[in-house]
Amino acid sequence: MRLLHSTPRQALTLALASALPAIAAPLATLDRNGAYVSIEAYGPNVIHVTIAADKAEVLKGPGFGILPKNSDNGAFRHSAAAGGDTFTSAGMTLRVNPAPPPRVPSQGEKYFASSLAPVGLQVSNAKGEQVLSMTGWEMSPHTVNTEKTYQVGASFAAPHDEHYYGMGQNQESLGPLDLRGRVLDCQHWYDAPAGEAVCVPFMVSSKGYGIVWDNPSATRFVAGVNGRTGFQSNVGERVSFFVITGATPEELYAGYARLTGKTPIPPKAAFGLIQSKARYDSQQEVLRVANTYRQKKYPLDVMVVDWFYWTRMGQMDIDPAQFPDPVAMNKQLHDMGMQSIISIWPRYETSGRYFNELDSKGYLLKDTQGKSVDGLPFRSDRTGGLIDATNPAARQWFWEKARDNILSKGFDYPWLDETEPDLVPDGAFYAIGSGDRYHNLFPLMHVEGMADNMRAWKPNKRVLILSRAAYLGSQRTGALFWSSDVDPSWEALARQIPTGLNMTASGIAYWGNDIGGWHGLPSTTDATKAPLLDPSDARDVVGQFHDYPELLTRWFQYGTFLPTLRLHGERKQTDIWSVGKQAEAVMARYDTLRYQLIPYIYSQAKATYDTGAPFMRPLWMDFPNDANVANIGTQYMFGPAFLVAPVTEQGQTEKDVYLPAGSDWYNYWTNEKVSGGRWIKVAAPIEQIPVFVKAGSIVPVGADIQSTASKQAIAQIKVYPGKDGQFRLYDDDGVSYDYEHGKSSVTLLKWDDAAGKLSASGGDAALVKAAPGLVKLAAPAK
């Protein structure tokens, strides 16, 4: 149906009526002198608070991204007294202050103060310790995109020792992780100066709680500035947020998963090497690169076909001049044990074959006059209209064309680019309302629409989607997220580490980046040190950027310890052998190492599926009692065993690394044992980045394979003594959804430090029998 501008509010009402599930009754709806407060629960450690001046607004239920079907008030009891209303469960207590007695306003309040009735509340954890105090709320009237609405917000006390994390992807930091003292614009912004910003409004506090801010409009987050932490959204008629409490990260993220959806286990191929380029200009080039990996015996799982394989933007076809037989190409890749990903964009040129159809059906983003938006004037971008992913019919249309025209040619998975979206919706209208009201919603709707249809099309083949942006709940779509089009520079590399750690802290476990940077290489370098790798045999790729082989190698070493490892960029070549023999030799060793670690990494994927907690995570999650780790964003844990400290400076051959207190640590490369709770200087020659293993760790090592299409045996079980330990080694078929029904294997490996023995039990009978003979104890090299 063509969008006719009755009013944005009417459009919103229709959309909510059709898109959102039935809403359960809240625990209570309280009247605080005309400020209405609604309370509902999502299990014992998740509470939803909604505040508005209009009672109907607080009863509308949660917004997009939240799963209302999971609301559950059964764990809570409500008691009312003169001191306020209290809601208590085994996991948390919420107290809503009583309404203050009426009084005569002062002169200042008559002119400048809000007319809203005050609302205050406190949250305590399972131990009865207060962890959060809301001190005020806001509804300030204004007009946005022709719509009379409000700026809405809430303020919370900010104790001096509180630290804040999450809130999506912000690339401003070169190292510090803690958001305290910062003011973030939580909105999707491709053109953010430091690199694309992505809003996932989930903040996690060092006090053992998290806040999910339920508003998809552009939002400002104030983190502990002048004693105040707050959220302020540009469009809304209510304040809506969720508080999650937990004694461990696993408890917090389990609450987030219950609220917004579980993180599925990706197909096992997602954990191998993904080879991409902007762009492979022919079918022959794709196959040449794939065949070269096999000839060189460098493991590889996925080949990617990026943009402009089509004849025109939005044509949703495959240019036969470039790709004369994509079905045969994909068969050859499959025969080599590889899979394929292809980029599918949501933009439609006005002269393309689908624009008039989409325009007439109202399937594109519209301006205030009801006309389809064509590009962005501030970028001189006239690359067509944007599919309206908020319209279910448009989502279905997009899926059917993507399936029939592209995916049916044998491609395994789609890459959904521009999911911010790149065509900024501010000042325009979606089917459900203004682009300002729903500024951050597009990536969830667009990617989830594709994911749901993919699973319906092939019910027992796991969904995998590359996506450039996310929102609340995006983790449930089976998407892999990345940091967008970053520079090929040492500075950009340094920014990736704290960026990724706050993104994963936002509940988005599968995050990575373009290894080597996306943008084309500059013609020169500003490096002042001699490059650590010889660029002389790679001049056709690197030109006079002498230190680029070193940069790419350091980035690849970092990528080896990311949830996904994907080479990409606008370079002439992007593969492992593209920047010289010396760089190739180092990256090839790390490619092999990545595949040896797949049993370990895949087991972490199962833990994330079970709990929602990320396995690439900041140090504060694993070492909450060490105050020194609160602001470290230059190193991180990769699963329970590995501490990784990437090298991000040109010419650097040693690095200061902090080893958290409470454990001894082993240098992964030398097996030297070091006590924790201190900074040490670590050797970092070009063939090594600092990696340490926590004492008591068990690390299963897989046999060498060329791709995850091959069954991988366990070749070795590395044990790092000094403490009892255990490891749940998980495996399944790596392809289907049978794991959701228990068709998998879990072998429990246990290390008895006092006895110096490893035992195995459970799933894999052959491994249980062989395990003691596969043990290799960490011992310093002689």
State yes or no: is 610 an active-site residue.
no
State yes or no: is 485 an active-site residue.
yes
State yes or no: is 534 an active-site residue.
no
CA dihedral 319, 322, 328, 330 (to 10 degrees): -90
Return the number of other C-beta atoms located less than 10 Å from residue 460's C-beta: 11
Angle between helix 326-335 and 283-296 (nearest 10): 10
Which position among 57, 178, 485, 547 bears the catalytic label? 485
CA dihedral 191, 196, 200, 202 (to 10 degrees): -110
- Of 284, 280, 333, give the one whose Cα is nearest residue 305: 280
Dihedral sign for Cα atoms in the order 454, 456, 461, 464: positive
For residue 421, cis peptide bond before it (omega within 30 degrees of 0):
yes
HSE on the CB side for 352, CA within 13 Å? 23
Which position among 40, 178, 417, 591 bears the catalytic label? 417
The 3-state DSSP class for residue 755 equals coil
If phi > 0 it is left, if psi is from -120 to 50 it is alpha, else beta; for residue 677 that is left
- Of 286, 338, 289, 275, give the one whose Cα is nearest residue 309: 286
Q: What is the rounded CA–CA span in Å between residue 620 and residue 628?
A: 9
Q: What is the rounded CA–CA span in Å between residue 85 and residue 98?
A: 7
Q: What is the rounded CA–CA span in Å between residue 376 and residue 384?
A: 9
Which position among 40, 251, 359, 420 bears the catalytic label? 420
CA dihedral 76, 79, 80, 81 (to 10 degrees): -140
Which backbone phi and psi does 644 adopt, to 5 degrees? -115, 130
C-alpha distances in Å from residue 289, one per residue of 200, 277, 282, 300, 659: 36, 11, 11, 10, 40
193: Cβ contacts below 8 Å, ≥ 6 apart: none
Helix (H), strand (E) at residue 257: helix 249-260
- The residues that are catalytic are 417, 420, 485
